[in-house]
């Protein structure tokens, strides 16, 4: 199994290099510059020209890229033009928020989806199955941001149960109250995200369980006299989780990207919101850093998925 993992990690190196070049060039190709809108609009073009020059923005792309990579290895991703603070610090501050929300959403998603998928499959074709199916279709069809806006309106505004912006109350005392406040802030976005992120898992699990129920090895288990409950536990459930395990790693790191929608609608200061803001301010350094991180996270996600699969499915381990 270590061989499998090692090989997968080696494959990632050229992927990351290509990714970084692409990311860098794409950011460069964006129109506009970081200064025109951010200082006095009547500023002298010559002054902007000067700023561009001292920031190295007129150098050839490979030189800029090389500078960027060298700094990258020193943990220096540059300064944000918009916030005037190191990108590393800026992102790590936001990443914590996103991590909280992502973790909470993922755990909730699986808590909702696994029982729903199992239950639907167990009662295939009956009323609970139809209800769950309709539920997944509806959540799949409605755009996510519409749900978020409606959710905020009902639970945040009309009922007033949850806060509608931010990640922590500024008046909370340090220690436990802060943690409680953080949890309180991610409750609504987390629950909404989980309720509407279940569709893939539910449908995959449902069809896998239905397949497994009629499979020959389950019939073998029945002929051994294994009670139905144990058949589900030992034979059906684990075998049906394979495709879900296949994208579990991906979905965990995918959520770390920060949900653009959730964070924007809830003004939740995570990576997603930072990303949107940076794009509108042409904050190159932040954009390149974020896109690079997203890319690496996705590569890590597939790696994680492969590792999980090789643990649960003996058939794909390299001998």
Query: 223-242 mask for other proteins (x: CB under 8 A)?
Result: xxxxxx-----xx--xx---
Cβ-contact 79, 168 below 8 angstroms: no
Cβ-contact 181, 168 below 8 angstroms: yes
Contact flag: residue 152 with other proteins (CB under 8 A): no
Shortest Å, Cβ 35 to other proteins: 59
Contact flag: residue 217 with other proteins (CB under 8 A): yes
Shortest Å, Cβ 206 to other proteins: 18
Contacting other proteins (CB under 8 A), which of 28, 49, 222, 233? 222
Q: What angle do CA 6, 76, 5 make, to 5 degrees?
A: 5
Residue 134 to residue 210: CA distance in whole angstroms: 18
* Chain-centre distance for alpha carbon 70: 28
Selected range binding other proteins among 112-120, 174-182, 248-256, 308-316, rule: CB under 8 A: 308-316
Contacting other proteins (CB under 8 A), which of 47, 92, 173, 220? 220
Q: Which residues contact 272 (CB under 8 A, 6 or more apart)?
A: 98, 257, 258, 259, 260, 261, 262, 263, 264
Question: How many angstroms separate the most distant Cα atoms in the chain?
Answer: 86
Contact flag: residue 219 with other proteins (CB under 8 A): yes
User: What is the number of other CB atoms lying within 10 angstroms of the CB of residue 119?
Assistant: 17
Contact flag: residue 313 with other proteins (CB under 8 A): yes
CA end-to-end span of the chain: 8
Structure tokens at 185: 């802030």
Kindly tell me which of 28 and 219 has the beta carbon lying closer to other proteins.
219
Contact flag: residue 244 with other proteins (CB under 8 A): no
Shortest Å, Cβ 179 to other proteins: 39
Cβ-contact 26, 291 below 8 angstroms: yes
Contact flag: residue 103 with other proteins (CB under 8 A): no
Contact flag: residue 215 with other proteins (CB under 8 A): yes
Kindly tell me which of 3 and 126 has the beta carbon lying closer to other proteins.
126
Contact flag: residue 44 with other proteins (CB under 8 A): no
Kindly tell me which of 85 and 230 has the beta carbon lying closer to other proteins.
230
Contact flag: residue 312 with other proteins (CB under 8 A): yes
Residue 319 to residue 317: CA distance in whole angstroms: 6
Residue 66 to residue 296: CA distance in whole angstroms: 19
Selected range binding other proteins among 54-62, 221-229, 261-269, 287-295, rule: CB under 8 A: 221-229
Shortest Å, Cβ 204 to other proteins: 17
Number of residues that bind other proteins (CB under 8 A): 21
Strand pairing partners for 79? 86
Find where tokens 């394979």 sit: 242
Residue 279 to residue 178: CA distance in whole angstroms: 31
Selected range binding other proteins among 97-105, 134-142, 216-224, 297-305, rule: CB under 8 A: 216-224
Q: Which residues contact 282 (CB under 8 A, 6 or more apart)?
A: 30, 32, 33, 34, 37, 81
Selected range binding other proteins among 29-37, 40-48, 196-204, 209-217, rule: CB under 8 A: 209-217
Query: 157-196 mask for other proteins (x: CB under 8 A)?
Result: ----------------------------------------
Tell me if residue 163 falls in helix, strand or coil.
Answer: coil
Residues that bind other proteins (CB under 8 A): 215-217, 219-228, 234-235, 238-239, 312-315
């Amino acid at each position: 199994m270590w061989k499998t993992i090692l090989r997968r990690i080696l494959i990632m190196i050229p992927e990351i290099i290509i990714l970084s070049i692409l990311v860098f060039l794409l950011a460069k190709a964006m129109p506009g510059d970081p200064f025109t809108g951010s200082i006095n609009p009547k500023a002298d073009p010559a002054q902007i020209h000067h700023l561009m020059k001292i920031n190295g923005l007129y150098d050839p792309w490979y030189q800029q890229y090389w500078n960027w990579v060298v700094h990258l290895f020193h943990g220096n991703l540059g300064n944000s033009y918009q916030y005037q603070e190191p990108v590393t610090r800026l992102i790590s501050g936001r990443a914590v928020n996103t991590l909280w929300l992502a973790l909470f959403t993922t755990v909730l998603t699986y808590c909702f989806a696994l029982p729903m998928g199992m239950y639907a499959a167990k009662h295939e074709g009956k009323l609970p199955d139809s209800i769950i199916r309709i539920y997944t279709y509806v959540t799949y069809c409605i755009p996510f941001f519409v749900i978020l806006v409606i959710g905020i309106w009902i639970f945040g505004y009309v009922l007033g149960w949850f806060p509608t912006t931010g990640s922590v109350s500024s008046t909370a005392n340090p220690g436990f109250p802060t943690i409680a406040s953080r949890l309180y802030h991610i409750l609504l976005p987390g629950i909404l995200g989980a309720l509407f992120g279940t569709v893939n898992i539910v449908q995959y699990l449902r069809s896998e369980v239905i397949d497994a129920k009629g499979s020959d090895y389950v019939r073998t288990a029945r002929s051994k006299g294994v009670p139905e409950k144990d058949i589900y536990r030992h034979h059906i459930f684990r075998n049906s989780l394979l495709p879900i395990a296949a994208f579990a790693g991906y979905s965990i790191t995918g959520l770390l990207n920060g949900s653009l929608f959730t964070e924007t609608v809830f003004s939740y200061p995570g990576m997603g919101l930072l990303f949107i803001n940076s794009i509108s301010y042409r904050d190159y350094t932040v954009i390149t850093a974020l896109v690079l991180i997203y890319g690496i996270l996705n590569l890590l996600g597939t790696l994680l998925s492969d590792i999980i699969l090789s643990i649960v499915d003996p058939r794909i381990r390299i001998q």
